[in-house]
Amino acid sequence: MLLKKPLSVVALVVLALATTVASGPVPSVPSVPKKRALFGGYNDPKCKPSSSKPNPIILLHGLLGNYREFSYMGPRFASLGYCVYSRDYGQIPGIPFLGGLNDLMDSAKELSKFVDDVLLATGATKVDIVGHSEGSTLPRVYLKYYNGVAKVDHFAAIGSNQYGTSLANIVTLLEAANLFGAVKGELSDLCKACFQLTVGAPFLDKLAEGGDTYPEVKYLMLVSK
């Protein structure tokens, strides 16, 4: 599939580079010992939550990312005594390493199973979710369509994307050049989620119907310049 659409591959690579640069590095937390934070404790299938930290943390990467996006943050949570997990979601067959590409409904189904697996393994009753970029939109899909409200206690987001994104201003530039339709045609099979996440996308309008939040879930949305 990739070889048949070389322009699509180039566009996807450009998008990956742009969104990676826009994301930036995760700042250091000096209070946590660095060596312990970087090695061990992350994605530990034998981890059991403590009474003071009863909810496992699930970390969700952004568009074109994968679970390695949290190779620094994940172990730091673990070093503080949390059971913390992450996995790839939304991959398209034939496209290695880049996650978050598939339809958000399919990705939410993956998330639903992952949450159930984590709850079963840890014996916990609810999880806390921390999502970055697309990972801040995906939990809303899970909450609304897959009974996630009953299984999520806290939902925090970094670089929160709730009302659409310009994909690091790429969409804005393409629209100004009257090229958005052509690029969408090239990429629609390779990045289904891309066009569910952009500003004005019908998917986001439907997701917002009935309200953005649920009273059973505690929310924290973090953004910066």
Q: Which of these, 111, 122, 123, 120, lies nearest to 148 by C-alpha position?
A: 111
Q: Give me 130's structure tokens.
A: 């921390």
Summarize pLDDT for 95-113 with one digit per residue, the tens.
888 999 999 999 999 999 9
Domain boundaries, the chain: 6-24+35-222
Residues 121, 48: contact at Cβ < 8 Å? no
Q: What count of residues does the chain have? A: 225
Summarize pLDDT for 146-169 with one digit per residue, the tens.
999 999 999 999 988 888 876 666
Per-residue confidence band for 10, with pLDDT thresholds at 50, 70 and 90: very low
As a whole number of angstroms, the distance between CA 8 and CA 13 comes to: 9
pLDDT of residue 165: 78
pLDDT of residue 188: 67
The DSSP bridge partners found for residue 154 are 128, 218
Superfamily of domain 6-24+35-222: Alpha/Beta hydrolase fold, catalytic domain (3.40.50.1820)
Mean pLDDT of 81-101: 93
pLDDT of residue 39: 45
Summarize pLDDT for 26-76 with one digit per residue, the tens.
333 334 334 443 445 788 889 999 999 999 999 999 999 999 899 889 999
